[in-house]
Amino acid sequence: MPAPDALQGTDLFQLDDLLSEEQLLVRRTVRGFVQDEVMPVLKAHFRQGSFPEKLIPRMGELGLLGANLTGFGCAGMDAIAYGLALQELERGDSGIRSFVSVQGSLCMYPIHAFGSDAQKERWLPRMATGEVVGCFGLTEPDFGSDPGGMRTTARREGDQWILNGTKLWITNGTQAHLAIVWAKTGPDQDSIRGFLVERGTPGFSARAIEGKFSMRASDTAELALQDVRVPESNRLPGAEGLKGPLKCLTQARYGIAWGVTGAAIACFEAARDYAISRVQFGKPIGGFQLTQEKLAQMLTEIVKAQLVNLRLGQLKEAGKASHVHVSFAKRNNVATALDIARGARSILGANGIVDEYPVIRHLLNLETVFTYEGTHEVHTLALGRAITGLDAFS
């Protein structure tokens, strides 16, 4: 049996003392939602490769969609409360957090930041409730880390734009009512503009990507645009060049840094509980030095991620967070969460590869998060540029 003074939870440095009552309430509420409503259905959806769409209205009721935006029915959470919400969602599953991240940071945010008054009034209230689901069309088959090379085009014809191209690895793609599609209106990346493409528009289609072993409880799609006509009123007037979509990605990456910390906590707690109860050679495996070393390293990295997240949230709330801060957090926290998931899998032994325990599901999901919204390598180069002033991308 563990000693009565064994550490409970992962808040070794008592960071809860620095959180407001509202922030603690948000975390407690979202944790309860995940435990009571997400986890009972998640295993079946992960096995089936489907997203639990019935949970979307409930997410809207809880204020999780566009949670850190203000007005238009959005919750207006502060940066730390929003991060804590995403941490609890991904403590459940990366696919659930991804849905919320894409809806809020990649779809609602660009309308909120770059859209016209008419676009905001039409779309944001219904997106905040989950009545309208959005997706973000930036990545293409041949352009992932280099989005400025995109081949999707938009050609002006009178008061309409004609879009042609293909977008790939699009979260929420088949269930989305509205796609934020980024396309070139000229020869270079300065000509990139954002367009609101509604489901059902002639020439626009979405196809589910099959065969995924990761993010199975998430809708991932390919979008095809063939002579898709959208009115000028569907162009985001405030977005010009690659800075538009990159600002959206900075918002989403902030949420990822918090979210993966939740996945890491879930894996650590599963491994700790298993190590305390699993008996080999006459005692719990948690009593062996090798196992304790693994658990100590996991907790160390979780605490470091928590500290980074908290300070990043403070900077963001003060308007001082830069894309470099966000790249640092995304790069560090995802890599360490993946290492923690692998270490937890090792502690669980053969049980680490079955979905009776959450570890293998988180491990598989984190392989995707390691790559999407800026690969580990791209964020490494972003930090390298900040450190040296030299650009390795060109």
Each residue's pLDDT expressed in tens, for the chain with a length of 394 residues: 556 667 778 999 999 999 999 999 999 999 999 999 999 999 999 999 999 999 999 999 999 999 999 999 999 999 999 999 999 999 999 999 999 999 999 999 999 999 999 999 999 999 999 999 999 999 999 998 889 999 999 999 999 999 999 999 999 999 999 999 999 999 999 999 999 999 999 999 999 999 999 999 999 999 999 999 999 999 999 999 999 999 999 999 999 999 999 999 999 999 999 999 999 999 999 999 999 999 999 999 999 999 999 999 999 999 999 999 999 999 999 999 999 999 999 999 999 999 999 999 999 999 999 999 999 999 999 999 999 999 998 7
How many alpha carbons fall within 13 Å on the CB side of residue 331? 17
pTM as predicted: 0.95
CATH 1.20.140.10 residue ranges for the chain: 243-388
Short-list 35, 131, 86, 72, CA closest to 262: 86
**DSSP for 241-255?**
STHHHHHHHHHHHHH
Task: Decide if 38 contacts 96 (C-beta within 8 A).
Answer: yes
User: Could you tell me the two tokens for 117?
Assistant: 């008054």
User: Could you tell me the two tokens for 351?
Assistant: 């049980």
**C-alpha–C-alpha distance, residues 9 and 139, integer Å:** 38
CATH 1.10.540.10 residue ranges for the chain: 15-129
Superfamily for the 15-129 domain: Acyl-CoA dehydrogenase/oxidase, N-terminal domain (1.10.540.10)
CATH 2.40.110.10 residue ranges for the chain: 134-234
**C-alpha–C-alpha distance, residues 59 and 223, integer Å:** 25
User: Could you tell me the two tokens for 16?
Assistant: 């809860």
User: Could you tell me the two tokens for 114?
Assistant: 């770059």
Superfamily for the 134-234 domain: Butyryl-CoA Dehydrogenase, subunit A, domain 2 (2.40.110.10)
Short-list 134, 393, 369, 383, CA closest to 242: 393
Phi/psi at 212 (nearest 5 deg)? -75, 140
What is the chain's Cα-based Rg? Answer: 21
User: Could you tell me the two tokens for 7?
Assistant: 């550490």
Catalytic residue numbers read: 373
Number of residues assigned to the chain: 394
CATH number of 243-388: 1.20.140.10
What contacts 292, CB < 8 A, 6 or more positions away?
286
Burial 312-323 (b: 16+ CB within 10 A, else e): bbeebeeeebeb
Task: Decide if 267 contacts 94 (C-beta within 8 A).
Answer: no
pLDDT of res. 241: 96
